[in-house]
Structure 1
């Protein structure tokens, strides 16, 4: 799948596509319903299936620290979208200047002149342009004028509830990993590069791989049973803490994963940490010694979980 970073990188060769627009945060089953239609039309019209998304996500620009927790970074979205068989991901820098672009200019300058859209698939709640004045009806009118079809894909329903990124976010925040997985169509995971940490775990015989959470707010926090991918072709078992590490006066959100029966150098590797089950919330302990006692309990509980849930 081709990645285009910025409108300025759209070339003449990129003219002509079927397109869907949105955050696609988490790439959940609702998104997949939209993209399934996109792929059908791409095959019919013999043009690339393209997704347009934004960095930062619009709410992150407008709400700042009060923006909702992000389910997936751009890299995560790329991986999931590529698995679906899409041809191209266009990532537009969402700035105040771009946000002030009128809905009409968005259609004419980007959709028509730059992309040459032949077919547009959008979710039923999609709005765009200055003050979110653009909607399905405006796109439909533009389609009649410029010769492209617009389809409003009704949200996929699950137990009569709409699948959305906010519902996935709520499930993760409450520790309901099973419900989140049902809406995502897969277990929730976090990816990141291993960086150097304080190495406090080594002092108590519990070495950890540290992954910085490159997002403003994490959708999950606490201690989890995890599986770890990205080390050769093997799946490792472990336990992870996601949060600010209050007992050791942590100031930034971080994922620390202790991989069972493993003690090699992982610095620089890109790991995927799959959340299997939540053990407990993150809490502040009175001492590092008290934290170590709890960590030992967490490790035993995580090992027991993996033992009971190993595939036969």
Structure 2
């Protein structure tokens, strides 16, 4: 997948124009997948190139809420859906465009033959454009506009806001159902205190960067992917109340039974599947060790 960090012409390589999915796509959830999949399928049927148009918010921006994925993981997910061209200009570069300027510029850059968007899509300065206006502006340009209904989960529209709320509440099945895939993190493994090795339950230590959505503190059944192989695992997310003297420090530690090897500096993928219990302070390290072993046993049973 070719990534374009600015508004620029697509290098279509002989393809007959493009079909472009439009949106912010922060969660790549089932609604986003429907919009992107529509563009991919249309492109395949019409000899066009499948493309996505989105944008990059300034660092620290809270316009769209806390991040669910890194930019790199969004790229992997979108590429995995069959997209060949990914336009992601800075928000500052497009925020002053009128709806007409936005549409005409995008049609020219993409040689667009079809646009796909959700029914809640907005565009142009101050979000003045909506799907109806997109159809109106595209009609004289000969560009098709396909408006897809919002995806539903348990009778309500899917949104990244709902996914964040599900993670905050520890409702991993709901988050995964709306995402269309397991919620997962891919952060570098950091050096910790080495306590897990001492207890016989070595863990990998990953730190959520600032601005990312945190799941509920507690213990989870997870699955960790290392070198293309999946391992049942148990993950503790929180302030490590038994051994940590800094309650503000949040860690994500995963015990992977059956795995031995040095993962420092690597970025294994840890998928979250089920919330087991809240974090608690144990009276002894033996009790802590027993809790970790029990969670690991339940993870192995879960994936059998």
With the shorter chain as reference, the TM-score category is: 0.7 to 0.9
TM-score (norm 1): 0.84
Which aligned pairs between 1:177-216 and structure 2 lie closer than 5 A?
Answer: 177-216=172-211
Shift in alpha-carbon separation, 1:143–1:267, aligned structure 2, 3 A: same
Q: Bigger CA drift: 83-92 or 270-279?
A: 83-92
Instruction: Work out the number of aligned pairs and report it.
Output: 298
**Paired position in structure 2 for 1:13:** 11
Mapped contact 1:181–1:187 kept (Cα < 8 A): yes
Q: Bigger CA drift: 251-260 or 130-139?
A: 251-260
Which aligned pairs between 1:1-312 and structure 2 lie closer than 5 A?
Answer: 2-7=1-6, 10-11=8-9, 13-14=11-12, 16-56=17-57, 61-63=61-63, 68-95=65-92, 97-109=93-105, 111-222=106-217, 223-230=219-226, 232-245=227-240, 247-249=244-246, 251=248, 253-282=250-279, 285=281, 290=283, 292-293=285-286, 295-311=288-304
**Cα offset for 1:53?**
2.2
Mapped contact 1:238–1:303 kept (Cα < 8 A): yes
**Cα distance between partner residues in 2 of 1:52 and 1:290:** 53
**Cα offset for 1:216?**
0.4
**Cα offset for 1:121?**
0.4
* Uncovered stretches (5+) of structure 1, i.e. residues with no partner: none
**Cα distance between partner residues in 1 of 2:115 and 2:284:** 53
* Uncovered stretches (5+) of structure 2, i.e. residues with no partner: none
**Cα offset for 1:73?**
1.8
**Cα distance between partner residues in 1 of 2:85 and 2:22:** 12
Shift in alpha-carbon separation, 1:201–1:163, aligned structure 2, 3 A: same
Mapped contact 2:40–2:51 kept (Cα < 8 A): no
**Cα offset for 1:120?**
0.3
TM-score (norm 2): 0.85
Mapped contact 1:218–1:253 kept (Cα < 8 A): no
**Cα offset for 1:245?**
4.6
**Cα distance between partner residues in 1 of 2:296 and 2:179:** 26
Q: Bigger CA drift: 42-51 or 83-92?
A: 83-92
